[in-house]
């Protein structure tokens, strides 16, 4: 049994968080998320990056590194604001789940 379906919901916020800290790219985020214990494949991650970009939370630029064309993402102003807005709810959810109830 897999709980990926549940955990995948946390990934866009995780991506957005790192994209507010600096530029990110796909492979780097895959490594980062795997490091955090998420079992994520490129076919899950790349559409997420794309949707975040499409909705205006991330902006992308492309840069050639050797033979590889790499797409770098960073949070837009809207992305920064969205993360700020989401923080109270994230905090509340986490303290409910982790803290076992009231905050
Ligand atoms: Zn992280």
State in Å: Cα 52 to ligand 1 middle.
Answer: 17
C-alpha closest to that of 45 among 86, 76, 15, 90: 15
Q: What is the pLDDT of residue 102?
A: 55
- Total domains present in the chain: 1
Tell me the pLDDT tens digit for each residue of 56-66.
Answer: 999 999 999 88
Between 100 and 33, the higher pLDDT residue: 33
State in Å: Cα 54 to ligand 1 middle.
Answer: 22
CA distance linking residue 52 with residue 83, whole number of Å: 12
Tell me the pLDDT tens digit for each residue of 14-38.
Answer: 999 999 999 999 999 999 999 998 8
Tell me the pLDDT tens digit for each residue of 62-91.
Answer: 999 889 899 999 999 999 999 999 999 999
Whichever domain contains 60, its CATH number is: 1.10.10.10
State in Å: Cα 85 to ligand 1 middle.
Answer: 19
Expressed as residue numbers, the domain containing 95 is 4-99
């Amino acid at each position: 049994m897999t709980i990926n379906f549940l955990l995948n919901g946390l990934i866009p916020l995780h991506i957005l968080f790192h994209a507010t800290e600096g530029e990110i790219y796909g492979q780097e985020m895959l490594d980062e998320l795997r490091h955090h214990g998420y079992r994520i494949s490129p076919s899950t991650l790349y559409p997420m990056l794309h949707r975040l970009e499409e909705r205006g939370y991330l902006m992308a630029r492309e840069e050639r590194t050797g033979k590889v064309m790499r797409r770098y993402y960073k949070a837009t102003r809207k992305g920064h604001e969205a993360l700020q807005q989401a923080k109270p709810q994230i905090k509340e959810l986490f303290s409910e789940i982790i803290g076992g109830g009231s905050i």
